[in-house]
């Protein structure tokens, strides 16, 4: 059996090695357009920033080592220019010599990945404008930085690559601005959770232009003018376009393979395309989203690697299936960690799912053991059934662990209440006897059982302030003095029982505290005294982060916080 693979990085290299492990006699040829195989895309921003110093660290394998160990014929600087499914061959151009030839296959695997999306804007192509995909792009940017010593950079796009670049360019001392069309960074997050990320970026000196669009670029003496829609241009010494990726599927399209979302390749769960004996994996294919069941694009290394292995199994006569992606991701944002799995609240609502959410801000490990830090966790679930839909966490230590537990729970089909049952490892330096994931389960159960009602940060400013409702802040006077919601009266939790008689029973009570814990306790006391009560999910801490972020973004104070902001 002769297998030809297009693309020798995440999906392609994984598949090549797996095919060899399954079939010692297969002839395996991989064509890779760039000069490197099996390189660490995910490490590229860190080489630009000088965190990874040796370029050899970026290339996990060489064609020689691949040949030695796996007898895989990896041909770098070879581009597949056309597919001929009828003849079962591909057309190849050797980019060093210009030679063009045809290569026959019995089975063909496409893992061509995705290209950085190139906007059709004036000035794209200027020599101070870069995109980042390959090792060559990385070396080019690094060489530019060393040669030209840019002092300012504009990053068009605030997704994962934009944020990683921002951190690395700040590390090199550059003045960095991110221009992003949506009102928030990192679209997999909801706005409320992105607000923590915005605050961190601003604190680290990254300028955020959210809700702004790039209109084009102009050369400007020793720099670039970044033209913005309807406002003054920005000047920068270096511009990197990171506005997203587009499946690199021209050859598949020209060969008539069935295409789906954004011209991605349609595959079945065995990673087979619409053409017999042609498989496809990775960023180039559309996948079923595990939560919504919809076809979508998820451009991440984990799915590409898993799909490569599955395609290899099937090429070798096995039967492996890909069940879909849930988009679990994690990113380092300076010293902070941001992680997600499943869908966010925005997507759930768009998909017509009647959802609810909880927020909690537990410590990463037992509070009495030194070094613990708060994380903020948001879990989105379906009302009624409590089906888990997704989770987002921002924080420091322990964020990656919790998101992986939640990702596993989501995959296993647990509902939100079952999170309380997970038997998770505990010792004070690592967690609490009730792990944050268990706590999320307790909270969802309390809502499901009607033990507590919540209101949310987006509703807080619209609560009646005309005396028809009672608004209480259950924190200490000192906390209250540092900042509080307009119209909320300070009544510390520990004094609540003494003041119960003052509360008019015919009025609803809304309670706020710092994180949502004391307000929950207050609601339990009040509910047992016949009071209709609900509390602010996520507490004043969440409300304040969002309000400050809006303030920073709009340069105008938007809402009803009083006190020392």
Residue 32 interacts with ligand FAD (CB under 6 A): yes or no: yes
Member of 1, 22, 124, 300 binding ligand FAD (CB under 6 A): 300
Residue 353 interacts with ligand FAD (CB under 6 A): yes or no: no
- Write the CB contacts of 538 (distance below 8 Å, at least 6 apart in sequence): 192, 359, 360, 361, 376, 378, 456, 457, 515, 516
- Write the CB contacts of 92 (distance below 8 Å, at least 6 apart in sequence): 31, 75, 78, 79, 80, 81, 100, 101, 102, 103
Residue 247 interacts with ligand FAD (CB under 6 A): yes or no: no
Residue 341 interacts with ligand FAD (CB under 6 A): yes or no: no
Nearer to ligand FAD, 72 or 537 (CB): 72
- Write the CB contacts of 388 (distance below 8 Å, at least 6 apart in sequence): 342, 379, 380, 381, 406, 409, 410, 414, 415, 416, 419
Member of 5, 10, 174, 257 binding ligand FAD (CB under 6 A): 10
Residue 30 interacts with ligand FAD (CB under 6 A): yes or no: no
Residue 252 interacts with ligand FAD (CB under 6 A): yes or no: no
How far apart (Å, rounded) are the C-alpha atoms in residues 277 and 270?
Answer: 11
Give me the DSSP letters along 308-356: HHHHHHHHTT-------B---EEEEETTEEEEEEE--HHHHHHTT--EE
Member of 224, 239, 251, 377 binding ligand FAD (CB under 6 A): 251
Residue 306 interacts with ligand FAD (CB under 6 A): yes or no: no
Nearest to 38 by CA among 81, 2, 74: 74
Catalytic residue from among 42, 290, 523, 559:
42
- The contact mask relative to ligand FAD for 40-79 (x = CB under 6 A, - = no) is -xx-xx---------------------------------x
Backbone angles phi and psi of 470, in degrees to 5: -105, 125
Nearer to ligand FAD, 282 or 342 (CB): 282
Residue 162 interacts with ligand FAD (CB under 6 A): yes or no: no
User: Between the CA of residue 255 and those of 81, 247, 547, what are the distances in Å?
Assistant: 11, 15, 52
Residue 82 interacts with ligand FAD (CB under 6 A): yes or no: no
Residue 444 interacts with ligand FAD (CB under 6 A): yes or no: no
Member of 48, 74, 80, 236 binding ligand FAD (CB under 6 A): 80
534 is catalytic: no
- The contact mask relative to ligand FAD for 270-289 (x = CB under 6 A, - = no) is ------------xxx-----
CB 367, min distance to ligand FAD, A: 31
For 343-376, b where at least 16 C-beta lie within 10 A, e where not — what string? bbbebbeeeebebbbbbbbbbbbbeeeeebeebb
Residue 113 interacts with ligand FAD (CB under 6 A): yes or no: yes
Residue 11 interacts with ligand FAD (CB under 6 A): yes or no: yes
Nearest to 312 by CA among 73, 28, 91: 28
Q: Which helix (H) or strand (E) holds 388?
A: strand 388-395
How far apart (Å, rounded) are the C-alpha atoms in residues 523 and 538?
Answer: 14
Residue 364 interacts with ligand FAD (CB under 6 A): yes or no: no
Radius of gyration of the chain (CA): 27
Nearer to ligand FAD, 113 or 539 (CB): 113
Both tokens of 530, joined, read 């016949």
Nearer to ligand FAD, 301 or 448 (CB): 301
CB 301, min distance to ligand FAD, A: 4
CB 195, min distance to ligand FAD, A: 22
The whole-angstrom distance between residue 352's C-alpha and the CA centroid of its chain comes to 22
Member of 108, 132, 386, 474 binding ligand FAD (CB under 6 A): 132
Both tokens of 105, joined, read 């296959």
Residue 264 interacts with ligand FAD (CB under 6 A): yes or no: no
In sequence order, the β-bridge partners of residue 489 are 472
CB 14, min distance to ligand FAD, A: 8
**Strand locations in 428-526 (E):** 454-455, 470-473, 484-485, 489-490, 509-512
CB 507, min distance to ligand FAD, A: 51
How far apart (Å, rounded) are the C-alpha atoms in residues 565 and 543?
Answer: 12
Q: Residues with catalytic annotation?
A: 42
Contact footprint for ligand FAD (CB under 6 A) = 6-7, 9-12, 31-34, 41-42, 44-45, 79-80, 111-113, 132-134, 161, 248, 251, 282-284, 299-302, 304
């Amino acid at each position: 059996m002769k297998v030809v693979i297009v693309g020798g990085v995440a999906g392609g290299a994984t598949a090549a090695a797996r095919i060899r492990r399954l079939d010692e006699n297969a002839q395996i040829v991989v064509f890779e357009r760039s000069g490197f195989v099996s390189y660490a895309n995910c490490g590229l921003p860190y080489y630009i920033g000088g965190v990874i110093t040796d370029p050899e660290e970026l290339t996990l394998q060489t064609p020689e080592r691949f040949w030695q160990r796996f007898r895989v014929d990896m041909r770098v600087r070879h581009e597949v220019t056309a597919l001929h499914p009828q003849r079962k061959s591909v057309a190849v151009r050797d980019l060093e010599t210009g030679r063009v030839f045809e290569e026959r296959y019995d089975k063909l695997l496409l893992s061509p990945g995705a290209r950085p999306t190139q906007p059709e804007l004036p000035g794209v192509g200027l020599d101070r404008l870069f995109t980042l995909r390959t090792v060559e792009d990385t070396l080019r940017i690094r060489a530019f930085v060393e040669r030209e010593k840019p002092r300012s950079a504009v990053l068009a796009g605030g997704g994962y690559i934009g944020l990683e670049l921002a951190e690395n360019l700040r590390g090199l001392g550059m003045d960095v601005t991110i221009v992003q069309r949506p009102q928030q960074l990192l679209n997999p997050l909801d706005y409320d959770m992105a607000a923590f990320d915005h605050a961190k970026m601003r604190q680290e000196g990254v300028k955020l232009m959210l809700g702004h669009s790039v209109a084009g670029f102009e050369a400007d003496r020793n720099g670039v003018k970044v033209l913005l829609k309807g406002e003054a241009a920005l000047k920068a010494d270096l511009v990197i376009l990171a506005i997203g990726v587009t499946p690199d599927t021209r050859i598949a399209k020209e060969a008539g393979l069935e295409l789906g979302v954004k011209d991605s390749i349609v595959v079945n769960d065995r990673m087979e395309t619409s053409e017999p004996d042609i498989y496809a994996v990775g960023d180039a294919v559309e996948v079923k989203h595990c939560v919504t069941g919809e076809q979508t694009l998820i451009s991440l290394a984990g799915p590409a690697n898993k799909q490569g292995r599955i395609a290899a199994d099937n090429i070798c006569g096995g039967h492996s299936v890909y069940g879909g992606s849930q988009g679990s991701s994690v990113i380092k944002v300076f010293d902070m960690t941001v992680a997600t799995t499943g869908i966010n609240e925005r997507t759930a609502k768009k998909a017509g799912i009647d959802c609810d959410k909880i927020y909690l801000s537990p410590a990463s490990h037992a509070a009495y053991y030194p070094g613990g830090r708060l994380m903020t966790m948001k879990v989105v679930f379906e009302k009624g059934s409590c089906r888990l839909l997704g989770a987002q966490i921002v924080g420091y230590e322990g964020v990656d662990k919790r998101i992986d537990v939640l990702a596993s729970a989501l995959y296993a089909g647990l509902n939100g209440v079952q999170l309380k049952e997970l038997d998770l490892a505990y010792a004070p330096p690592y967690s609490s006897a009730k792990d944050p994931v268990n706590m999320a389960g307790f909270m969802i159960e309390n809502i499901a059982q009607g033990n507590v009602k919540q209101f949310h940060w987006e509703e807080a400013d619209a609560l009646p302030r005309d005396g028809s409702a009672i608004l209480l802040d259950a924190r200490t006077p000192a906390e209250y003095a540092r900042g509080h919601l307009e119209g909320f009266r300070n009544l510390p939790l520990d004094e609540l029982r003494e003041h119960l008689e003052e509360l008019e029973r015919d009025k609803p009570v809304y309670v706020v505290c710092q994180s949502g814990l004391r307000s929950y306790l207050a609601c339990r006391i009040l509910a047992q005294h016949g009071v209709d009560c609900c509390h602010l999910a996520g507490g004043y801490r969440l409300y304040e982060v969002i309000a400050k972020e809006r303030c920073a973004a709009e340069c105008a104070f938007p809402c009803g916080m009083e006190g020392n902001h």
